[in-house]
């Protein structure tokens, strides 16, 4: 529930932030927030930190929905926008398989280590976000957004 409410707040706030700083920078900020949330959840030492991690995670997920779609609109030629969003949706489906499969595999492989195995599995998701952020830095965006 905390993450859901936070995602609503994050999507609303990052709508304004995206408009102010641009979609590419906003996606970068959101990815850093997501990494921070995963770090906090991975190393949590108190219940309060865990709840804060859930809130930050929710904010970043709601914000990512807003910022990433804005970036797709900026990157795609108007006549191919449907294809770009189709590929975007497909990549989301692949992610919904890869993430849980990676997390589950690591958790299972490290089941004898108890809570540490779960923390390592959660940390592995942070690696995926970091790799995505590095790839994101290589993306060139158009100087103008006239076709939005």
43 phi and psi angles, rounded to 5 deg: -110, 15
Rg (CA), the chain: 17
Query: For domain 2-138, which CATH number applies: 1.10.357.10, 3.90.1300.10, 1.10.10.10, 1.20.1250.20?
Result: 1.20.1250.20
**pLDDT tens per residue, range 74-131:** 999 999 999 999 999 999 999 999 999 999 999 999 999 999 999 999 999 999 999 9
Q: How confident is the model at residue 144 (pLDDT cuts 50, 70, 90)?
A: low
**pLDDT tens per residue, range 29-65:** 999 999 999 999 998 888 888 899 999 999 999 999 9
Query: pLDDT at residue 146 above 60?
Result: no
What is the per-residue pLDDT for 148?
A: 46
What is the per-residue pLDDT for 143?
A: 62
């Amino acid at each position: 529930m905390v993450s859901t409410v936070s995602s609503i707040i994050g999507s609303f706030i990052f709508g304004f932030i995206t408009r102010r700083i641009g979609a590419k920078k906003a996606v970068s900020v959101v990815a850093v927030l997501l990494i921070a949330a995963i770090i906090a959840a991975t190393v949590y030492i108190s219940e309060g930190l865990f709840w804060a991690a859930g809130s930050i995670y929710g904010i970043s997920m709601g914000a990512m929905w807003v910022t990433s779609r804005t970036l797709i609109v900026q990157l795609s030629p108007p006549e191919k926008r449907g294809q770009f969003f189709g590929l975007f949706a497909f990549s989301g489906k692949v992610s919904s398989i890869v993430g849980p499969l990676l997390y589950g595999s690591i958790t299972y492989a490290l089941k004898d280590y108890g809570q540490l195995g779960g923390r390592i599995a959660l940390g592995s998701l942070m690696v995926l976000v970091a790799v995505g952020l590095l790839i994101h830095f290589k993306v060139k965006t158009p100087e103008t957004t006239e076709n939005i």
